[in-house]
Amino acid sequence: MSDVIKKATRDGFGDEIVELGKENHAIMVADVDIGKSCKTGAFKAALPEQHINVGIAEQNAAGVAAGLATCGKIPFVVTYAAFGSMRMCEMIRQEIAYPKLNVKIACSHGGVTPANDGASHQSIEDMGILRTIPNMTVTMPADYWSARKLVRAAAEFDGPMYLRFTRDAIPVIYDENEEFVIGKAKQIRDGKDVAIIANGDTVRLAIDAAKQLAEQGIEARVLDMHTIKPLDVEAVQACVDEIGKIITVEDHNIMNGLGSAVAEVVAENGKGVLRRIGVQDQFGQSAPYERLLAMNGITVENIVAKAKEINA
């Protein structure tokens, strides 16, 4: 995909939140002093009255956002995924999710994309943590345009939501006319031999793997499961019934993320074969992004190998 346009999903968030804020003055941003990395600088410049910087105080940001939501505002708390999911966890549970307030937690630097910043900044547990909290919706867009569309959908959605973005530029998959529905998977490619269910920055790998598999006579269905809670159970069920062989791919611990969510559906059906590709329950290191993915087998080559294995 070297000849395709690449943009980070965090840029999609940064561009769309400005448009939303101009359209609806109830939209607010609560920053925790890392707006440059999380792409809220343009929002602050254009809409200073709708922007609050609480400083490096994530728990306070959650409380401020909860208060704003009780006043009819639509606050987006913006920080890194590691801090937004873990440092804020109790406040999210008690102050946002329990009263089911209309707060959006928009986090950049999900997965291993913090790369050389090391394990302290890499967030391999976040979607799993938020997935277990009642009333919480959990999403991760696959590219720039899906990020913009899902951010807009989040603003229109009434209730707590976690949105996960990544730091590195990744290939643009969709165009600006593509539509997305929270909780509804996007089928990118159909196939009868294996289903590859991915989300976020790994969707690009699933697409490339499907192309390689097609050249070897294996037709893969590719699903962009941008929402892991609520999971599109119907789409997974169709993969179980029509294909029976599934591979999940994610930049997240294989425990309690996308792979686990899909495994729950497969297990309840009592049939089908599932292989999970993701972070192998280990902390990251300070290394380039692609190398960290490779260390966990999150590669096109491994997806192809797993598909051939379960089709043998």
Residues identified as active-site: 58
Separation between Cα atoms, residue 135 and residue 258, nearest integer Å: 18
Residue 143 near residue 267, CB atoms below 8 Å: no
Separation between Cα atoms, residue 141 and residue 143, nearest integer Å: 6
Q: In what order do the strands lie in the sheet with 186-189?
A: 186-189, 220-224, 194-198, 245-253, 273-279
Separation between Cα atoms, residue 154 and residue 148, nearest integer Å: 10
Is 135 strand, coil or helix?
coil
Which among 43, 116, 122 is positioned nearest to 82, based on CA atoms?
122
- Number of Cβ within 10 Å of residue 2's Cβ equals 5
Separation between Cα atoms, residue 147 and residue 170, nearest integer Å: 12
Is 208 strand, coil or helix?
helix
